[in-house]
Amino acid sequence: MLEHAVNFYKNLFGEEPSNGVRLKDDFWDEDDLVTVDENEALHASFTEAEVRNAVFSSYAEGAPGPDGLPFLFYQTLWDTIKGDFMNLVSLFEKGDLNLDRLNFAMITLIPKEPDARTLKKFRPISLLNCSFKFFWQNA
């Protein structure tokens, strides 16, 4: 049953084969290309001021992130946590931050109608960044 469901949704949501359409090498005008200076700016490390501005310009009481904390936490405790947070940003920039848990989800099927019998009659939903341990302990 599991293999049947996996194959069904892989075919439904899977990647389509490339149709071979490509842009010509000269598609972009010279003025539309990124300059050397712009490229250097794009590759520059985030400054503490930029990160602080992003944190403080976010809605403080919005939905919590994958860590379970809303931006209010970061805004309120910025002076205490900014060193650790900037270390996290630095690891991300270097590609040394393990992001496996950010790509983790539990998927379940919800019937679209009573007595659903085929996979087309179910809607897949996912719980992103969740912990199996939490769900099994609290089930």
Q: What's residue 55's pLDDT?
A: 95
Q: What's residue 41's pLDDT?
A: 94
Q: What's residue 71's pLDDT?
A: 93
In tens digits, the chain (139 residues) has pLDDT values of 788 888 888 888 888 888 888 999 889 998 999 999 999 999 999 999 999 999 999 999 888 876 778 999 999 999 999 999 999 999 999 999 887 766 677 788 899 999 998 989 999 888 765 554 444 444 4
Domain ranges of the chain: 47-97, 101-139
Q: Which residues on adjacent β-strands are paired with residue 127?
A: 106
Give 2-22 as a DSSP string.
Answer: HHHHHHHHHHHHSPPPP----
Q: What's residue 34's pLDDT?
A: 94
Q: Up-side HSE of residue 88: CA atoms within 13 Å toward CB?
A: 7
